[in-house]
Amino acid sequence: MLSADTLVILDRDGVINHDSDNYIKSLDEWVPYPASITAIARLTQAGYTVAVATNQSGIARGYYDEATLHAMHDQLTALVEAEGGGIAHIAYCPHGPDDNCICRKPLPGMLLNIQQHLGLASLTGSWMVGDSLRDLQAGEAVGCKTALVRTGKGVKTEQRGVGLEKAKVFDDLAQFVEWLIR
């Protein structure tokens, strides 16, 4: 039975795959961290539900289109399924920072989309795992426990030391998963 306590929401770029200041604009540029796919599969096998919430302003900026984004997400899903795992839902924000949408993190719109899609009454007690302060802020806004990973922008986020009072910090997604399922 799906419950908020067994839901783990992941940011994508910098958590699951390598990030780039120039945006991940193609399937060729979408390169998962070696251990992240296995980590997601392990979560699923341990009884957790995994969802993804990812800001994708490169769409609004014209760097790539939604078909390209879907190709990346299809690849992600296929790799996770090949290792015996699954992703219940992928929510993304295609808007730019000045579009005044309700979904772009640090706003919690994508997390609320995941909650609605999965039919949960609340997200309180679920996990939000990210590499930036805005990921953690989005999670905290809806009652998630938060974890910062040092991959992607995580080291810089940790060094700033702002807004991390409630977050647990891990080297990467695999270390978080190992800790969580232990």
> Which residues carry out catalysis?
11, 13
Torsion of CA 64, 65, 69, 74, to 10 degrees: -130
As beta bridge partners, residue 54 has 92
Classify residue 32 by its DSSP letter. Answer: B
Q: Are residues 118 and 2 in contact, defined by beta-carbon separation less than 8 angstroms?
A: yes
Q: Which phi and psi (to 5°) does residue 88 adopt?
A: -75, -35
